[in-house]
Structure 1
Amino acid sequence: MAKLPVHVVVLNYNGAEDTIACIRSLQSVVDPVLEIVVVDNASTDDSVLQLHGAFPGLTLIESPRNTGYSGGNNLGIRHSLAQGAEYVLVMNNDVTVTPDFLLPMIALFDKDRSIGVATCKVHYQSRRDKVFAGAGRFNWWLCTGMNKGGYIERYFRNGREEIVDFACGVLFLVRREVFEVAGYLDERYFMYFEDVEFSRRVVKHFRMGYTPLGVVFHKSGGGTSIRSYTKLYNYYHTRNRLLTFSEDVRIYRWYVVAFTLANVIVKSAIQLPNGLKGPRNAWEQISALWRGFADGMSLMKGGSQKKV
């Protein structure tokens, strides 16, 4: 079992309450030793003051601008590697952990040196019996990464360790060599689908492992159903699907475009009943979907990036 400290990178943006809860849960971990690094992604509230007040001496990196999930986490990853980190855990700030969640992931590395990324079982905080993410695979038909199998198969597969080809961005543990060989998170994404792109890049050089023996709990800020998805989720999830596959073979790119267009149409239709309660909100959600599609198509063709 590895005894080196694990550096934990937690990204904060106007979310001090969640980040404080996350850090307090991390402080319950005795083994291995953790070096917690918080990156504040140019919060517009008093997050920095709250975090310093709650945790004097906390390693807190203040980004001069909001560079999204990838850019903010890369700041923390580079800092950790500069401090000599051999393992870096990237996790969302709205995650709380169990005291022994890391040991099974480190055990995967010890058992198989070809594994470069490890992940564990993620449950919803609001429904602790429901799995948010577990054993992941890339689904060519749905053009994304997802839990293996349907609802029945998911519970069986999520109950055993296995090699996977997708690690959900909510939480993943990475060996130093992975960043040195495969590179950092792609900062073009801002948020969503960067985990799909990173996973596809990593598996060209390393294997990725999943263990159900480590358990964490995720708040899920993007929403839990189509009608509750945020405007940012609708925009970036649509745009970044197209960006992710912009360099795949032409026939698959065409399929991704057709699938994404159908996805936007269906989600727009589902949003329409919301217009009865609040026309402006429904229009904003539908507009975010279509702007995401248009900007994604522009990126596929090599056009300029836009940020919502």
Structure 2
Amino acid sequence: MRAANQNPTSSDSSFDPSTATIVAVTFNRSGLLSRLLTSIGEMDPKPGHVVVIDNASSDDTTEVVESFRERIGTELIYRRLETNTGGSGGFSAGMQTAYELGSEWMWLMDDDVEVIPDGLAKMGRWSRRFRSIQGRRYDFDGSEFYWQYRIAARMGIPIPFAPAEFDESGFKEMNSGCFEGMFIHRDVVGRIGLPDPRFFIYWDDQVYGWLASRITTSVIVNEFVLRRTREIKQWDMGIRHMNASSDAYRYYIMRNRALIKQYYRSLGVYHPALFAAGTTLTFVKELIRLLVVERTVRGTRHLFRGLRDGRAIAQDRSWQPMPPLELSARPVA
């Protein structure tokens, strides 16, 4: 059932913050993680649990987490994985942990953000109306970060110029997702399953948000709840910007197009020509990123390597999407 277009009211105050769990994934960035955990300790209200997934860090992450256990003000669960599973595997493990804790809400974030003190209260105000919610964040320099909240679904790519302004409703419908701030209800997770660790990095949250939007009204709300704490090299395009990347990202950006293709096939929405156009545009965008932001062409081979390895994934006829966690889950509003 679609929700009416109106702002949250005082009736939304029934949200219980103790039913929410923050899931944070980290890898060899203990200094940034410390800032995130400090900000969580300053939240009012606080979530019922904080789950930290450590992707086999080799720095002092374990000691940093343990130093917060008695002072964060809520239950802290720490899981150190045996290997680095990437952001995708980290969030999959974190959401599984939160789900098994009985959490009603799971709030996902990387280690390079801080939570604004009343961020959970802001998200909670929308929790009675929606089940897949994205808040907004400030960038490192304090500017308002624009997130590409809509995708061209058949092409499987973000729409970079979807309107940034909000009307009086305070929300806009989205068909994507971002693990830097996704606030999602366990009923949705039960229906669509956990994030797919096979992505490792990139496209995983877009696909997960798209899956959520197929069964519930997903929205981005005009609430600033996070602040980035890491500066990233960017190309300022005026109304938008393009971040610098890495060879690993370039590889997975192209390889993981095959995983998106498999998801589309499994759901009967795959359109070969449109999806191929989306892959071509993605490749061109990464070339521009190399030339303009990073001023090099040396990473091009990783784009081609990703395309090559993706072919084996796309040709795997035994491939299956992530399974639901609740085969008989109740309908999601």
Q: Tell whether the structures are fold-level matches, with TM greater than 0.5.
A: yes
CA contact 2:251–2:306 (8 Å) conserved in 1: yes
Partner of 2:290: 271
Could you list the per-position Cα deviations for residues 43-94 of structure 1 after superposition, in whole angstroms to 9, with x for gaps in the alignment? 1223222332354584211111111222212222222222221111111111
CA contact 1:9–1:37 (8 Å) conserved in 2: yes
Q: After TM superposition, list the pairs within 5 Å mapping 1:95-110 onto structure 2.
A: 95-110=113-128
Partner of 2:183: 173
Could you list the per-position Cα deviations for residues 97-127 of structure 1 after superposition, in whole angstroms to 9, with x for gaps in the alignment? 21111223222122x2xx22111112211x3
**What is the DSSP-based 3-state SS (H/G/I as helix, E as strand, rest coil) of the residue aligned with 2:290?**
helix
The CA RMSD over aligned residues, in Å, is 3.1
| Aligned match for 1:182, one of 171, 192, 200 | 192
Larger relative contact order (CA 8 Å, sep ≥ 6): 2
**What is the DSSP-based 3-state SS (H/G/I as helix, E as strand, rest coil) of the residue aligned with 1:18?**
helix
Could you list the per-position Cα deviations for residues 211-252 of structure 1 after superposition, in whole angstroms to 9, with x for gaps in the alignment? 112331225687534683111221112222332133346872
Q: CA deviation at 1:24?
A: 0.9
**What is the DSSP-based 3-state SS (H/G/I as helix, E as strand, rest coil) of the residue aligned with 1:36?**
strand
Partner of 2:89: 71
- The answer to whether 1:232 aligns with 2:248 is yes
CA contact 1:139–1:146 (8 Å) conserved in 2: yes
Distance 2:309 2:79 in 1: 31
Residue type of the alignment partner of 1:181:
R
Partner of 2:158: 145
Partner of 2:45: 31
Q: Which residues of structure 1 form unaligned runs of 5+?
A: none
Residue type of the alignment partner of 1:234:
R
Count how many residue pairs are aligned between Structure 1 and Structure 2: 292
| Aligned match for 1:17, one of 23, 31, 56 | 31
Residue type of the alignment partner of 1:292:
G
Partner of 2:221: 211
| Cα distance, 1:220–1:298 mapped onto 2, change above 3 Å | farther
Distance 2:168 2:58 in 1: 39
Residue type of the alignment partner of 2:126:
L
Partner of 1:197: 207
CA contact 2:24–2:53 (8 Å) conserved in 1: yes
More helix by share: 1
Distance 2:289 2:135 in 1: 32
| Cα distance, 1:268–1:49 mapped onto 2, change above 3 Å | same
